[in-house]
Amino acid sequence: MPSNVVLVTGVGGELGGKLLARLGSNEQLERVIGVDTVPPSQWLVDRMGRAEFVRADIRNPLIERIIADAGVDTVVHASMTAHPAGPAPRVAVKDTNIIGTMRLFAACQRSPRVRKLVVKSTAAVYGAGPRSQAVFTEDSPLKPASSRGYVSDAIDMEGYIRGLRRRRPDLTVTTARFANLMGPAVDTVLTRYFALPVVPTIFGYDARMQFVHSADALAVLEQATMRDIPGTFNVAADGVIMLSQAIRLAGRVELPVPSSALPTIAPVLRGAKLVDFSPDQIQLLTYGRVVDTTRLEQEFGYAPRWTTREAFDDYVRGRALGPVVDRESLATLAGKVATSAVSGQASGRAQPW
Amino acid sequence: MTDRDHVNGARLSGNGRGRRDGVAEGPPIPEQATVLRLPRPDRGPAGEPDGAREPDEAGDPESHGASRGTGTGAEPATAAQRGESGEHSRSGEPRRSQGASIVRFPGAATTEERWAHSGQDGRTDAVPEVLPESLAEAVAFLANRLTGEYTVDEFGFDADLTEQVIAPALRVLYDKWFRVDVRGAEHLPERGGALLVANHSGTLPLDAAMTALAVHDNHPGDRFLRILGADLVFQIPVLGSLARKTGQTLACSSDAERLLGRGEFVGVFPEGFKGVGKHFSARYKLQRFGRGGFASAAIRAGVPIVPCAIVGAEEIYPKLGDIKPLARLLGLPYFPVTPFFPLLGPLGAIPLPTKWTIEFGEPIEVDGCASDGDPMEAFTLTDQVREAIQQMLYTRLERRRGVFGG
């Protein structure tokens, strides 16, 4: 039975908003309702088509009435914030993440018409560390870096999903664990991090980074909504780039900081409203994280169109990140220096060194 | 900003349409070809990655969308999406002009401008032709490093860096200091997954690096040995990232099986720290082979085991004592005392110039073993491999005339 009435939470976010726009222009759906605490952007209002927006807090009992009154049969929970872009009040975010999710799931369990749940989770639930396996499959154990971080919210949420599935075995539940989103319009802690002119890294470590392009993430969420594919799936692009490589590709300057000095630097960056270095984030930037996407390609039936490298290049292009140091010219310069050393004649431009 | 958003929106709508039929057939063909053709703000054609160039040749993005979509979802382009596509083409102009400028940061403007000019006319020949080949290669390598134009695999293995920088550095130690002699190179598997199991010793695990180099240099196909290391290796700054870049990964069954499944040649030292940190008097006496996880991994993956005996490594730092409180303080498994360390300080860290022999034995097939995880079978295989290595060690030691002369 295909979905008819879809409820999407977190449409104020990039992914949720675009999903609402896509579903809103889908003729097969009878009704599409978007929910968030913030009003939709003008961009979204122009594009959401037949979709309706309800300004509501999922922590509020109102959500149960919306689901019951509209006869919602498919709920897409996309409001979970595991990577807030900037420093956000932790208590408020945790409240929405945990209480909001519990309320929403409770409403889903209560309403007999709900038969499908799609949840946006994060690959950060696997943690990252020297004892972690190099590539995480969906069956790997979930480990938060700290018991208070956003990632632990996601792990708690996955626990609630298990509980809901136990109590409502008839429910089709699709959980998508997304790698870090990358794309021109993506605003996460990581996209802000790579936009810093001087990028602090952890000395002596070079993390393996894996991204997923926001277009692929959107396609996965949409397919999960339109089709019935129960299960948990890692969603990430093919290929890996190293953190140092990404910084070079973005034309930034790397500043290795000893891990012991990080507690000093992190508050400065947080205070300057630049990026929030949470323990989860530091763990990622130290050890990196790569997930296996075999299940996504074979069971779910979606092959990401963008590789990690292409997604990152698209982000760099889309943000118009100009090089702080033009490495290509630097490389040309190195060639020229070598030439002049060999041929014995100095070229004018090689002189500044 | 709005322009960019529209471009992105258009791309999003284009992307979701195809490949609903799902299962991967060939490499993913991104449909963003039109976007990729836009001039990049900071990179010339020389910097275009191969992966990004391919989609251009894949042809008209529209035809892909039409032929691939089997349509369960948003097949017909809605008014909103059509609107976006229109804006997409219109927004091409401002993007182009925006892309042409280089964002200047204060203080660097003049230098950047000069570089930008030199870059634009010098880009196609970033490596001048007059250079001798070896130097040109080095410059090209450096240029690729600086611009980030290289690839690593999912374990973080950087083949380029290993081959160009790390292997040459280790080769000095390998050729001049330890004068490594390799026997049985014909036993190295030509291709396909295989597991090399060797004895571990030397207080500092130099034997792992030397074995990897011995495999690479003596294999006709320059095969890389993917060594499984202890978690401590990945905790230590610099060493940990270097280990990953040279193809090592954590010694755990999931990583081992993943590598073997990809058809890699995996190296493992089952003695672990018990082997590296054994007392000098225990040299060439194989320690317990861990829990025998390597055997079950080989059985499950159905790959042969290549036993390997390393002679000479066990005398490079004769470990006579262990300062346990210091080891605990530093979080290390042991703090070695050798005749020269810590007595001579950093000088004591110079390994003794022993003569090494690395012998690869005949591969042990695991075909006969059931792959359903019979623990007894794994134990038997573990013992068999251990026995083979111990025998090779004794035979090699009998023939050895001197520790330093071989």
Residues of A with Cβ-Cβ distance to B103 under 8 angstroms: 320-323
Among candidates B72, B156, B232 on the partner chain, residue whose Cβ is nearest the Cβ of A240: B156
In which band, very low, low, confident or very high, does the pLDDT at A339 lie, cut at 50, 70 and 90?
A: confident
CA gap B185, B387 in Å, rounded: 20
Burial letters for B205-225: b for 16+ Cβ neighbours within 10 Å, e otherwise? bbbbbbbbbbbbebbeeebbb
Q: Which domains does chain A have, with CATH numbers?
A: 5-318 (3.40.50.720)
Three-class secondary structure of residue A227 per DSSP: coil
User: Cα A44 to chain center, whole Å?
Assistant: 19
**Tens-digit pLDDT profile for residues B102-119:** 433 333 333 334 344 433
Say what the pLDDT of residue B405 is.
Answer: 84
In which band, very low, low, confident or very high, does the pLDDT at A241 lie, cut at 50, 70 and 90?
A: very high
Say what the pLDDT of residue B137 is.
Answer: 85
ipTM of this model?
0.87
CA gap B14, B84 in Å, rounded: 10
Q: Which domains does chain B have, with CATH numbers?
A: 2-100 (no CATH), 109-147 (no CATH), 159-316+351-399 (3.40.1130.10)
Average pLDDT, chain B: 75
Say what the pLDDT of residue B106 is.
Answer: 39
**Tens-digit pLDDT profile for residues A195-218:** 988 899 999 999 999 999 999 999
| Closest CA relative to residue B291, chosen from B309, B277, B271, B261 | B271
Say what the pLDDT of residue B88 is.
Answer: 39
Q: Contact at 8 Å (CB) between B157 and B226?
A: yes
Between strands B357-360 and B305-311, the pairing is antiparallel
CA gap A331, A79 in Å, rounded: 44
In which band, very low, low, confident or very high, does the pLDDT at A334 lie, cut at 50, 70 and 90?
A: confident
Inter-chain touch A238–B28, beta carbons under 8 Å: yes
Q: Contact at 8 Å (CB) between B231 and A131?
A: yes
Burial letters for B19-56: b for 16+ Cβ neighbours within 10 Å, e otherwise? bbebebeeebbbbbbbbbeeebbbbeebbebebbeebe
B78: pLDDT strictly greater than 60: no
**Tens-digit pLDDT profile for residues B143-154:** 888 888 999 999
Which A-chain residues 278-317 have CB contacts (< 8 A) with chain B? 287-288, 290, 297-298, 300-307, 309-310, 313-314, 316-317
Q: Tokens in use for A186?
A: 């993506």
CA gap B157, B150 in Å, rounded: 11
In which band, very low, low, confident or very high, does the pLDDT at B279 lie, cut at 50, 70 and 90?
A: very high
Closest CA of chain A from B110, distance in Å:
12
DSSP tag of A282: H
In which band, very low, low, confident or very high, does the pLDDT at B335 lie, cut at 50, 70 and 90?
A: very high
B67: pLDDT strictly greater than 50: no
Among candidates A202, A259, A335 on the partner chain, residue whose Cβ is nearest the Cβ of B139: A335
Closest CA of chain A from B138, distance in Å:
9
Residues of A with Cβ-Cβ distance to B146 under 8 angstroms: 248, 327-328, 330-331, 334
Say what the pLDDT of residue B360 is.
Answer: 97
In B52-210, the DSSP E strands lie at: 181-183, 194-198
User: Cα B262 to chain center, whole Å?
Assistant: 13
Say what the pLDDT of residue B104 is.
Answer: 38
Q: Contact at 8 Å (CB) between B154 and A290?
A: yes
In which band, very low, low, confident or very high, does the pLDDT at A292 lie, cut at 50, 70 and 90?
A: very high
Among candidates B28, B76, B147 on the partner chain, residue whose Cβ is nearest the Cβ of A248: B147
Residues of B with Cβ-Cβ distance to A238 under 8 angstroms: 28
Average confidence (pLDDT) over A299-303: 96
Average confidence (pLDDT) over B288-300: 90
Inter-chain touch A330–B22, beta carbons under 8 Å: no
Cβ within 8 Å of residue A337, ≥6 positions away: A350, A353
Which A-chain residues 25-84 have CB contacts (< 8 A) with chain B? 25-28, 43, 46-47, 49
Average pLDDT, chain A: 88
User: Measured between CB atoms, does A211 come within 8 Å of chain B?
Assistant: no
Closest CA of chain A from B43, distance in Å:
8
Tell me, yes or no, if the pTM score tops 0.90.
no
**Tens-digit pLDDT profile for residues B345-381:** 889 889 999 999 999 999 999 887 776 778 888 999 9
In which band, very low, low, confident or very high, does the pLDDT at A345 lie, cut at 50, 70 and 90?
A: low
**Tens-digit pLDDT profile for residues A105-142:** 999 999 999 999 999 999 999 999 999 999 999 999 99
- The answer, yes or no, to whether the previous bond of B270 is cis (omega within 30 of 0) is no
B184: pLDDT strictly greater than 70: yes
Average confidence (pLDDT) over A277-304: 92
Instruction: Classify residue B176 as exposed, middle or buried by CB count within 10 Å of its CB (0-12, 13-18, 19+).
Output: exposed
A287: pLDDT strictly greater than 70: yes
Q: Contact at 8 Å (CB) between B335 and B317?
A: no
Percent of chain A with pLDDT over 70: 91
User: Measured between CB atoms, does B89 come within 8 Å of chain A?
Assistant: no
Say what the pLDDT of residue B129 is.
Answer: 62
Say what the pLDDT of residue A120 is.
Answer: 95
User: Measured between CB atoms, does B254 come within 8 Å of chain A?
Assistant: yes
Q: Secondary structure of chain A: what % helix, strand, coil (to 5)? A: 45, 20, 40
A230: pLDDT strictly greater than 70: yes
CA gap A122, A179 in Å, rounded: 6
B121: pLDDT strictly greater than 80: no
A72, amino acid identity: V
B96: pLDDT strictly greater than 60: no
CA gap B380, A315 in Å, rounded: 53
Of these ranges, A83-92, A271-280, B61-70, B326-335, the one predicted with the greatest mean pLDDT is: B326-335
DSSP letter string, A144-181: -SSTTSHHHHHHHHHHHHHHHHHH-TT-EEEEEEE-EE
Say what the pLDDT of residue A174 is.
Answer: 97
Closest chain B residue by Cα to residue A238: B154
Segment among A20-34, A287-301, B56-70, B230-244 with least mean pLDDT? B56-70
Say what the pLDDT of residue B352 is.
Answer: 94
Among candidates B12, B41, B81 on the partner chain, residue whose Cβ is nearest the Cβ of A25: B81
User: Measured between CB atoms, does B221 come within 8 Å of chain A?
Assistant: no
Percent of chain A with pLDDT over 90: 61
Closest chain A residue by Cα to residue B146: A327
CA gap B61, A37 in Å, rounded: 38
CA gap A137, A123 in Å, rounded: 10
Closest CA of chain A from B308, distance in Å:
26
In which band, very low, low, confident or very high, does the pLDDT at A2 lie, cut at 50, 70 and 90?
A: low
Closest CA of chain A from B177, distance in Å:
27
B391, amino acid identity: Q
Residues of B with Cβ-Cβ distance to A338 under 8 angstroms: 128, 131, 135, 138-139
B42: pLDDT strictly greater than 80: no
Average confidence (pLDDT) over A55-83: 89
Average confidence (pLDDT) over B9-25: 38
